[in-house]
Amino acid sequence: MDQSLRPIVTLGFIGLGVMGEPMCGHLARRLGRTVLAHDRRGEPLARLAKDGVVAASPAEIAARADAILLSLPDGKAVESVLAELEPGLRAGQCVIDTSTSPVSLARAIGARLAARGVGFADAPVARTREAASRGELSIMVGATEAVFAHIRPVLDTMGTDVTHCGPVGTGQVVKILNNMLVFQNTAALAEAIALGRRNGVAPDVLLPTIAKGSGDSFVLRSHGMKAMVPRVFPERAFSTRYAMKDLSYALDLAREAGIEVPGAELTMRRLRAAEAAGFGDAYHPVVLNVIDPE
């Protein structure tokens, strides 16, 4: 199957949200191929038209694209879109799911498409919206060696770190565990801010000083300094609800493996408290507001 994947001349892209829109733009600008795109909203399609991206239905994308990328909110959305695409898919095409979705779903889709001669890779992305805009994402890929080699030039247009993690499903494993650590680190920062503030050290002194020592981290410098210190938690960023969704996938993995993860379970309780307090659509470091309310 892998050896018969057809050359990628036309690309499809479905899901032009916070990450998907800039990713699709990079494909059109950097790869020099025809890009067909679909989203339920017209605004991102209108913005991408200047880069030559052509609006199309899922059925048109399935019929015309050699490789189809998905950037969708969750596993349910991935299943829904695949149901629209699959009747039109043919042997030699390739589907690349850059969404974060359950490992079991990625493996089921991969097996189902492989039986029809269609390549599949789970290739979830990490880092921020700003990194997506610069084409500097970290992309974690689960695929056969041949599929990975086939799609690598496409992924290189969107990311500076593209890693083959193993067979189908392993990209999702790495991404889910990456996010589990981010959410736990964010909750730990909120605890540190709360303790520091109650002992006479302001957050804008605490975090920059810790950043000079062994407690430094990407989460401290990005989530901590840019969002938690000024307490700016915008919508249209990686929301509390998205964090809960991704962390639920990690908890599923833990249950399946028979491993206790009390740190992740505590973090989930705090995210749920943030959602219950009305912060479900806010940027997920808003968990600070329930750990250290002003």
* Catalytic positions, written as ranges: 175
Token pair 């080699």 is at which residue?
149
- Say which DSSP state 172 is in: H
* 3 state SS of 189: helix
User: How would you classify the pairing of strands 67-70 and 94-97?
Assistant: parallel
- Label each residue of 197-240 as H, E or C: HCCCCCHHHHHHHHCCCCCCCHHHHHHHHHHHCCCCCCCCCCEH
Q: Which two tokens stand for residue 270?
A: 């705090």
Strands 137-142 and 125-126: antiparallel
Any idea what DSSP says for residue 17? S
**Residue 36: which H helix or E strand, with range?**
strand 34-38
* Residues in the chain, overall count: 294
In sequence order, which residues have a C-beta less than 8 Å from that of residue 274 and are 6 or more positions away? 240, 280, 282, 284, 286, 287, 289, 290
Q: State the DSSP code for 13.
A: E
* 53 torsion bin: left (phi>0), alpha (psi -120 to 50), beta (else): beta
**CB-based burial of residue 134 (10 Å sphere; 0-12 exposed, 13-18 middle, 19+ buried)?**
middle
